[in-house]
Structure 1
Amino acid sequence: MAELINCPRCDKLFVKGFRDICPDCYKEEEKAFQTVYAYMKQRKNREATVLDIVEGTGVEEELILKFVKEKRLRTSLFPRLAYKCERCDREITEGNLCTNCSSELLGDLEQQEKIDAVTTRNKMSDKATYFTKK
């Protein structure tokens, strides 16, 4: 069911459907996307970075990063498009975390699972222990 909310960009009231922004802001975003895409399609700009695109088009950096994260601007076609890892600020081209942070977090999770398993086993063994009197 549709929900009545304020647009996070312009604060206009609208019915939220498929998008999180109002139709007017969506049209502006689409226009900005077309501007960025037209800029990137030019052979001389295919190796442009996000900052180069901002300078060349005047489109906000956050909006360009949104296009990259939504995979509307593909890093396979434009190899220098990158954004920062949410944890360490290294340049990445997909996901939210770089491979180092991702593997570090997985290692931490595995370690915590081992600790939880030992804790659970110790609690279970306390209940099943029988003592005899001699």
Structure 2
Amino acid sequence: MAEVRNCPTCNELFNYIGTRDVCGKCSAKEEDLYQIVYRFLRKRENRAATVERICEATGVSEKLIYKWVRKKRLLPAMFPNLGYPCDQCGHLTYGGKLCARCLEKLQRDLQRVEAAEEFRENIEQSTRGTYLAQRKK
């Protein structure tokens, strides 16, 4: 079922059905800009261009380029200097929401929490002990 939303670019109302996050007009403009960027990157000398260089040469915003990389329309495998900012630190990443450093830090933190919980459980079990009362005959 369609949902009515405001276009984040032009603020017009449009029916959001899950495929596009902007209205039809803005989507067509974005597609035109995508073609400009893609044509720029297809040239051999531009394949290693950074996001800043692409913005400078084509006039397309960084936000749009990051959006296309996230949606895998521009692949870092084909264009090695393309990525998008990590949600945690802003460092460029090529997959997921976190860069390798932030992901590693998160995993270490989770391991510490798990180890602390295991330690607490062991302490609780050792202090609980079992006591048997003698039965009266």
Give, in angstroms, the shift of residue 131 of structure 1. Answer: 4.2
Task: State the Cα deviation string for residues 62-91 of structure 1 (Å, max 9, x = none).
Answer: 101111111111111111113332223333
Partner of 1:36: 37
Matches within 5 A, 1:64-83: 64-83=65-84
Task: State the Cα deviation string for residues 19-78 of structure 1 (Å, max 9, x = none).
Answer: 221111111111111110011011121111111110111111110111111111111111
**Distance in 1 of aligned mates of 2:30 and 2:123:** 56
Matches within 5 A, 1:115-130: 115-119=116-120, 125=125, 130=130
Q: TM-score, normalised by structure 1?
A: 0.83
Q: Does 1:14 align with 2:8?
A: no
The one-letter code matched in structure 2 to 1:16 is Y
Instruction: Find runs of 4+ consecutive structure 1 residues off by over 6 angstroms.
Output: none
**96-105 or 48-57, which deviates more:** 96-105
Q: Report SS of the residue matched to 2:4.
A: strand
Listed as ranges, the gaps of 5+ residues in structure 1 are none
Partner of 1:5: 5
Give, in angstroms, the shift of residue 92 of structure 1. Answer: 2.3
**Distance in 2 of aligned mates of 1:31 and 1:86:** 28
Give, in angstroms, the shift of residue 118 of structure 1. Answer: 4.8
Task: State the Cα deviation string for residues 71-130 of structure 1 (Å, max 9, x = none).
Answer: 11111111111333222333322222221211110111122233344556667x5xx765
**62-71 or 82-91, which deviates more:** 82-91
Q: Report SS of the residue matched to 1:4.
A: strand
Listed as ranges, the gaps of 5+ residues in structure 2 are none
Aligned length: 132
Relative to structure 1, the CA distance from residue 115 to residue 56 in structure 2 (aligned partners, 3 Å threshold; closer, same or farther) is same
Relative to structure 1, the CA distance from residue 89 to residue 16 in structure 2 (aligned partners, 3 Å threshold; closer, same or farther) is closer
Structure with bigger gyration radius: 2
Q: Report SS of the residue matched to 1:54.
A: helix
Q: TM-score, normalised by structure 2?
A: 0.81
**Distance in 2 of aligned mates of 1:111 and 1:53:** 42
